[in-house]
Amino acid sequence: DLMESASSDAIPINNSGVLDVNGSAVSSDEITNYVLRKIKNDGRKDETDSENVYLIPHSSKPVNEYFNPKLLAGLYPTLFCYGHGSPEDQSRPVEINLREHIRYLSSYNDRCFERNHSFIFVVFNLLQRCDACFHAHLIATKPYFRVTAHEIQSLNSKDIEIALDHISTRTYSSEPNSVLKKLLNHIKTIGGRVMSSAYSRAALRTRIHALIFNQGLPSIFLTLYPADIHSPVALYFAGVNLDLDNIRAAYDYIQKS
């Protein structure tokens, strides 16, 4: 409706001429069957000959994730139809935080960003890595880290493999490595600042234990009461014609109804 669209603040954006650009609607088996059917035609003129299959491989070079407005616009052309509006665009006169921009995109009226099969997970992973790198940078500038930096550089891949094996199997070595312990402490400190990480949950548990130690155990009040539809008194005050002088008959009437 033109009148409704003119009075609404939401501007609908319709995709045109783009089919499965995300690669989620067409499976690899369907693409394989289509290619085999093209080969089976063996050059004969058919209606399928007018169709083309374009496979875009991944590049061997990693893409910069920081201050790259073309990253999300290139990953999701159906969401950024005009190639503009992606986060961390330096051409904006007003700088917008990445986290706030993602929150703004998630609040669109048509919920296209929320309903996308991978957008939420990709941006969440970007935010996690940004938090990890930011806090790692802060720790690297501290004087105490400079003291242990040379010791951490002395670790080799074998020590890391042994530590990962102990963590996965939940076993502990009888000869602890002090340098490796310092590295794990730094990782735990950084991970405690990254949202939804295992270390952040451990930090929250520590905070809860500290609050219990300081304030005492929490008090939980639980009130149980029957549903109103099974209470003759509540139904009577709601306007249901019941004989309260005969509660048993009223209760049987409620059960039958």
Q: DSSP letter for 23, please.
A: S
* DSSP helix/strand/coil, 37: helix
pLDDT, one tens digit per residue, over 110-128 is: 888 888 888 989 999 898 8
Residue 90 token pair = 């330096």
44-58, 85-99, 136-150: range with lowest mean pLDDT: 44-58
pLDDT above 90 covers a percentage of the chain that reads 2
Q: Report residue 23's pLDDT band, with 50, 70 and 90 as the boundaries.
A: low
Q: Which residue has the higher pLDDT, 79 or 17?
A: 79
- Tell me the C-alpha distance between 33 and 22, whole Å: 19
- Tell me the C-alpha distance between 208 and 202, whole Å: 10
Q: Return the domain boundaries, the chain.
A: 142-215, 225-257
Mean pLDDT score of the chain: 76
Q: DSSP letter for 202, please.
A: H
pLDDT, one tens digit per residue, over 157-210 is: 887 887 778 777 777 666 677 777 888 788 887 887 788 888 888 888 888 999
User: Which range has highest mean pLDDT (27-36, 40-49, 81-90)?
Assistant: 81-90
The pLDDT value recorded for residue 210 is 92
Q: Is the pTM of this model over 0.75?
A: no
Q: Which residues contact 222 (CB under 8 A, 6 or more apart)?
A: none
Burial class (CB in 10 A: 0-12, 13-18, 19+), 191: buried
Q: Which residue has the higher pLDDT, 254 or 33?
A: 33
Tell me phi and psi for residue 195, to 5 degrees. Answer: -65, 140
The residue-averaged pLDDT of 152-159 equals 80
Secondary structure element (H or E) that encloses residue 248, with its range: helix 247-256
